Amino acid sequence: MDRMPGKLLIVVAHGDDETLGAGATTAKLTEAGVQVSLLVLTNDDGSRAAMGQRVTNRVSAIERAAKILGIERVGIREFGDNRLDAESQLELNRIVEREVRDFRPDTIFTTSMSDLSMDHQLVSRAARIAGRPGRSGVREIRCFETRSATDCGEASGLPTFAPNCWEVVSASHLERKIEALREYGQEVENWPSPRSERGVRALAEYRGSQITEEFAEAFELLRTVR
């Protein structure tokens, strides 16, 4: 990372997005002393109800995963999973803007507009608005891939996730990512799901191979000010 953040804000719709998308990078940055705040806008996995599965509250899992990744500040709102489109974009913007004012980050990580999930798209838009030039001290914004939501988007005709920034991570950073992901229980699926442990490792190896490194995470770099 050419420019090491002073403070990083990660904005996501669901607990596990932060781990799947940037868990190894987060572990790397907190290890280097970067302060990280995690803002999660939903607190359950209510979409499972439509499949006849038990709905669980994710708050404790989010907090445990954050601790493994070295995140000390965690904010969790109480919106429902897959129901952010029932809220106004203005309300979502205000929530993220409030965290930007309180935490004063210079860097934001969030989900990609390439994801099929409407929750991911709404949160990504809110993060971009909260970090817009002239209204915050945010100097860099990155979007990460959240497999399988990004896969579903690409398979459904949405613009393809287009990384232009790769963060090299170590084997230990990747292991912390996988350890944090395990805290989400049933969200970890079996291979060949991209949400499986093997799938997470395979993606890190693939992104690393693109830049002739062992492991990496990829991002869409939207803006950086040096």
Q: Read off the pLDDT of residues 153-187 as tens digits, 9 standing for 90 and up.
A: 888 999 999 999 999 999 999 999 999 999 999 88
Residues 116 and 114: their CA atoms lie apart, in Å, by 6
Q: Is residue 1 part of a domain?
A: no
Q: Is residue 19 part of a domain?
A: yes
Q: Is residue 172 part of a domain?
A: yes
* Whether the predicted model's global pTM rises above the 0.75 cut: yes
Give me the percent of the chain exceeding a pLDDT of 90.
82
208 token code pair: 């690393």
pLDDT score of 51: 45
pLDDT score of 54: 55
Residues spanned by the domain of 12: 7-222
Number of domains in the chain: 1
pLDDT score of 7: 98
Q: Is residue 52 part of a domain?
A: yes
Contact at 8 Å (CB) between 80 and 9?
no
pLDDT score of 2: 66
Q: Is residue 180 part of a domain?
A: yes
pLDDT score of 57: 83
CATH of the domain at 62: 3.40.50.10320
Which residues 6+ apart lie within 8 Å of 36 measured at CB? 7, 8, 9, 10, 26, 29, 30, 69, 70, 71, 72, 73
pLDDT score of 154: 87
Exposure b/e, 196-205, CB count within 10 A at least 16 = b: bbebbbebbe
Query: Would you tell me how many other CB atoms lie within 10 Å of the CB of residue 136?
Result: 18
Cα 8 from chain centroid?
Answer: 12
Name the stretches of the chain with pLDDT < 50.
Answer: 48-51, 53
Which residues 6+ apart lie within 8 Å of 105 measured at CB? 5, 7, 8, 9, 37, 131, 137, 138
Q: Is residue 127 part of a domain?
A: yes
Q: Is residue 2 part of a domain?
A: no
Q: Is residue 61 part of a domain?
A: yes
